[in-house]
């Protein structure tokens, strides 16, 4: 089950089909927090990364589409299960290819348009602290729909944010807490299902899934979809989904919730875009060729 998904958010305007797909494929990036200590991958982790890469080569993935950074994170999020990691990586590549992105090198580019083009895309996410286990919190606020003309850039930004969130040893090895704030009302753009498909392909690993801001009607609607999704989704992931009100979120996450959500919430020490760029670029260069 893939639960990265999402980065356009489950709101009351989302179609049943789109939301059903999101919940069904829920194996699915968080925000500015201080950088952690340097990485040290174990011999078994490096061996798994290389094995995943070898599987991808054997399946016909060309060298220019193989990225050590993304292979490593995908493999870690699949708990070093190399067959699953290869499947997830290929699905991720196929998903971004729909938007004209053939490789992760094209996602990152040369960083020249990062501040002007990509930085505004991060408004869909909110800066958070960490949960009680020290894991990053991926918080989707749903405040900014993706316009049709922005789809490619939104996907690039989503990939970079995903990498940034998983670019610390704790979240990389133990997963993340995933929060979706469905309390915002916003008009449909018409590309929601298309965007959901790419978000669902992100190989995320949430340990907690909190759906915040759902009123009674919306909760009944989403509950029905969860029951439907249980027919073809892993039970252990569905069991991690919890509906929570504002008080419950604050009680569980404390001052790590976004500042917009609580007066004593987390305030980023640096702009989101700068944090994403620093975290992605700080990830170690790995040689997986041998």
Strand partners, 136: 130
Q: Please state which of the ranges 25-34, 75-84, 142-151, 209-218 shows the lowest mean pLDDT.
A: 25-34
What tokens were used for 11? 């709101």
Instruction: Give residue 236's pLDDT band: very low, low, confident or very high (50, 70, 90).
Output: low
Closest by Cα among 80, 206, 187, 91 to 143? 187
Q: How many CB atoms within 10 Å of residue 170?
A: 15
The pLDDT confidence band at residue 260, using thresholds 50, 70 and 90, is confident
* Tokens 């971004």 -> residue: 96
Q: Which residues contact 90 (CB under 8 A, 6 or more apart)?
A: 56, 59, 61
Contact between 208 and 242 under an 8 Å Cβ cutoff? The reply is yes
Give 97's pLDDT tier (boundaries 50, 70, 90): very high
pLDDT over 50 at 24, yes or no: no
| Mean pLDDT over the full length of the chain | 81
Taking residue 99's Cβ as centre, other Cβ atoms within 10 Å add up to 17
Sorted by where each starts, the structural domains of the chain and their CATH numbers stand as 16-282 (3.40.525.10)
pLDDT number for residue 209: 86
């Amino acid at each position: 089950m893939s639960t990265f998904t999402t980065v356009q958010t489950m709101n009351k305007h989302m179609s049943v089909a789109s939301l059903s797909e999101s919940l069904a494929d829920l194996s699915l990036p968080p925000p500015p927090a201080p950088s952690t200590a340097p990485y040290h991958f174990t011999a078994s982790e490096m061996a798994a990364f290389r094995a995943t890469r070898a599987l991808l080569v054997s399946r016909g993935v060309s060298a220019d589409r193989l990225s050590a950074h993304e292979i490593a994170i995908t493999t870690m999020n699949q708990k070093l299960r190399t067959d699953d990691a290869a499947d997830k990586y290929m699905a991720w590549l196929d998903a971004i290819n729909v938007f004209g992105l053939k490789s992760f090198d094209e996602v990152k580019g040369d960083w020249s348009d990062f501040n002007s083009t990509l930085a505004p895309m991060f408004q869909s996410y909110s800066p958070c602290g960490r949960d009680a286990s020290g894991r990053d919190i991926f918080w989707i606020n749903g405040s900014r729909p993706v316009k049709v003309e922005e789809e490619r850039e939104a996907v690039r930004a989503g990939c970079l944010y995903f990498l940034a969130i998983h670019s610390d040893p704790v979240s990389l090895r133990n997963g993340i807490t995933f929060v979706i704030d469905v309390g915002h009302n916003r008009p449909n753009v018409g590309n929601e299902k298309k965007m959901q498909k790419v978000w669902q392909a992100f190989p995320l690993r949430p340990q907690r899934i909190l759906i915040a801001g759902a009123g009674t009607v919306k909760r009944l609607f989403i509950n029905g979809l969860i029951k439907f999704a249980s027919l073809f989704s892993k039970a252990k992931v569905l069991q991690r989904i919890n509906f929570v009100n504002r008080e419950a979120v604050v009680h569980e996450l404390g001052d790590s919730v976004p500042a917009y959500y609580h007066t004593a919430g987390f305030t980023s020490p640096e702009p989101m875009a700068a944090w994403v760029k620093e975290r992605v670029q700080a990830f170690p260069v790995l040689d997986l060729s041998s």
